Structure 1
């Protein structure tokens, strides 16, 4: 009986280990050199047969095959025939805030009330999420954990996708406030007509007035040296007026992009970012003149109107970049599909954009927009070693196969629940192939 109980205990232990996410990676203990790969720096440069060395989480050397490597003290990884990239950065992400789309109790991305700038998303970020390993497997290693809902949703933070808790994972705390600008019109699905219809927002004036009043109160409060008592909501808004926080404005239509930006400027907001911008090409001159970056919606979507060019979503990123607008990209569909960010960016390379510029959108440009380009976004000496190594083109869903990933030099275990399930049923049914 004792033998049977021991055997059962071991079996249960093995099952529990099998079912859980990999533990967070240990800190880098010795220098690592990736040798022989094609290095995509992230700023448009490519180094053939390159070498990149990093120690204590920081890149110490990068160059071609002539770069010196101390093989006695360095772990050398041969990546010949593979491609080396900066870790992909996902803005406006729900990773860590939503776990199961059909289970309401796993949603933690929104709060009640119209104005919630004091809500900090990083505290809700779940580092044990089973979604996190699945996005790392496609090279997405950093994300902006972002609140949703209401007019002012809350405050986002930028997280590394590895860590025991949010304190371990946070890369930049409280980087910006999120505003869902009231729409003049809205596209809604009509069950009666079985199609999307355009409807006027009858509450637009009321919502805009409420927003103006709140911004006016926030600006007045920020000008008080020692407010007493303190107001938590207005305290959270202070960073918009001293430049320590960005205002991320979710809006799509050309007229609303201009209106929302001018409203923010009227109340002395220092740094504005447009998120969505599906009609940003109608506000090109305004965006360029005012130096306002855009994080565009992904390419894989339908046009907004029946008379719009069907390929417009694919062409938009190239139009913005050619006009001189700092352009990044995020993924808007189901939270778990954030892993597809490299592929929707890569598609833009077939519509007027160079492939390295498509990569730049989701690495360097996203880093610049989020204010972390001094840390990540490109593979340069002095920056953090947040790196993905793919067997093929990381922007192509057919060849993206990430074999190594490092976050601040930590070697990430790329196992995940989906890979385990795949192996389980391949083994069960004796299926061969990749």
Structure 2
């Protein structure tokens, strides 16, 4: 057992303990309160004067897919030979030995959704993982967690250079519609085959990968920066009755009312950096706050390695500087991404029964001179600042 005692606890569950303690047993949070009596065999972490919060979560990154300081040999996030690759799985490319995992958990990031890039119309399957470990199979929270799809400049640029479709936004949308229609038809044939096995279609790995999407069990994770691309992603999702998350959502602040009306969440970022392409011309840290004030559930993301994961708190702090409510910004890197990803039963807040993914700071996480003193993942101290 471990007892973290006498720290200021930001639970992300609507309650804050000014001087609270947390009892951890078998990797889970057993008890939270102001006066917890430590069992005799418990290890004690004195958090007096410190801030305790749940492990930070990035809802969209490419951790382990593009290895650090390598180049082509470590670039495994985009299979740029076919615009439709739903059968690719992130877990087959993630290298947890990459040093950016250590940098992530030392910076307080304990869980991420990581997966393929945006070169393809359908890029493959994202996974939710913990950031500590040396074998990806032991780090998985949920796999697959989403199906990556992409709109806008990236797929058209990649395949224009190859002189094949899509080289326009029209073709991107048409290709996505076609594959979703085929997946829907494939699912219908499988259903009919339950009564007559002779009607069972030939095995198709791409179609099999899309069945959870068609059945509404797994969302499309839509890379869309520009407002028109955001609307196209919504249009197609509604046509096929599939779930969707709006990732990047760079021009979301320009269409905040519409996003709220659609009842969708937004995973916003990366907002730190230059406007490297036309669809980023309206890039601003104001987006997250503008959407949040309309009542849209927001997660803030790094798109690592675009922004290294350890700087996710800084990105949230810059959103606050641009007008976002501080409490909402904290939620945007903890409980909100957990809820958007559908893993909030395990992570995202300090609550009895959840995984003991806990960060202890020596100051407020939005202050640049604050340090992570402890990182705990599944109740294990994986980092302690000397």
Give the structure-1-normalised TM-score.
0.79
Moved over 6 A (4+): 184-187, 303-306
3-state SS of the aligned residue for 2:36? coil
- Alignment partner, residue 342 of structure 1: 313
Give the whole-Å Cα distance in 2 for the aligned partners of 1:297 and 1:348.
10
3-state SS of the aligned residue for 2:38? coil
3-state SS of the aligned residue for 2:103? helix
Q: Is residue 41 from structure 1 mapped to residue 11 from structure 2 by the alignment? A: yes
- Alignment partner, residue 265 of structure 1: 238
How far the C-alpha of 1:186 sits from its partner, in A, is 9.0
Give the whole-Å Cα distance in 2 for the aligned partners of 1:183 and 1:339.
28
- Alignment partner, residue 204 of structure 1: 169
Cα deviations across residues 284-318 of structure 1 (Å, max 9, x unaligned)? 23222221111001342457999x998x7222111
Q: Is residue 358 from structure 1 mapped to residue 329 from structure 2 by the alignment? A: yes
3-state SS of the aligned residue for 2:253? helix
The structure with the largest alpha-carbon Rg is 1
Checking the alignment, whether the CA contact within 8 Å between 1:98 and 1:107 is kept in structure 2 is yes
How far the C-alpha of 1:342 sits from its partner, in A, is 0.9
Give the whole-Å Cα distance in 2 for the aligned partners of 1:184 and 1:300.
19
How far the C-alpha of 1:206 sits from its partner, in A, is 2.6
Checking the alignment, whether the CA contact within 8 Å between 2:180 and 2:214 is kept in structure 1 is no
Q: Is residue 55 from structure 1 mapped to residue 25 from structure 2 by the alignment? A: yes
Cα deviations across residues 369-424 of structure 1 (Å, max 9, x unaligned)? 1111111101011111101111112222221x111111111221458xxx9xxxxx
Give the whole-Å Cα distance in 2 for the aligned partners of 1:34 and 1:303.
43
Give the structure-2-normalised TM-score.
0.88
- Alignment partner, residue 393 of structure 1: 364
Give the whole-Å Cα distance in 2 for the aligned partners of 1:298 and 1:202.
25
Q: Is residue 286 from structure 1 mapped to residue 258 from structure 2 by the alignment? A: yes
How far the C-alpha of 1:245 sits from its partner, in A, is 0.9
Give the whole-Å Cα distance in 1 for the aligned partners of 2:171 and 2:307.
35
Give the whole-Å Cα distance in 2 for the aligned partners of 1:71 and 1:267.
55
Checking the alignment, whether the CA contact within 8 Å between 1:298 and 1:313 is kept in structure 2 is no
- Alignment partner, residue 154 of structure 1: 124
Residues 10-409 of structure 1: matches in 2 within 5 Å? 31-64=1-34, 67-111=35-79, 112-148=81-117, 149-183=119-153, 203-224=168-189, 225=191, 226=193, 227-269=200-242, 271-301=243-273, 313-332=284-303, 334-335=305-306, 337-399=308-370, 401-409=371-379
Give the whole-Å Cα distance in 1 for the aligned partners of 2:167 and 2:64.
35
How far the C-alpha of 1:164 sits from its partner, in A, is 3.1
Cα deviations across residues 119-151 of structure 1 (Å, max 9, x unaligned)? 010122222111111111110111112111211
Give the whole-Å Cα distance in 2 for the aligned partners of 1:309 and 1:155.
29
Give the whole-Å Cα distance in 2 for the aligned partners of 1:130 and 1:334.
12
Alpha-carbon distance change, 157 to 184 in structure 1, aligned in 2, over 3 angstroms: closer
Alpha-carbon distance change, 231 to 150 in structure 1, aligned in 2, over 3 angstroms: same
Structure 2 gaps, min length 5: 158-165, 194-199
Give the whole-Å Cα distance in 1 for the aligned partners of 2:311 and 2:13.
21
Taking only aligned residues, the RMSD between alpha carbons, in angstroms, comes to: 2.6
3-state SS of the aligned residue for 2:333? helix
Give the whole-Å Cα distance in 2 for the aligned partners of 1:134 and 1:202.
38
Checking the alignment, whether the CA contact within 8 Å between 2:68 and 2:99 is kept in structure 1 is no
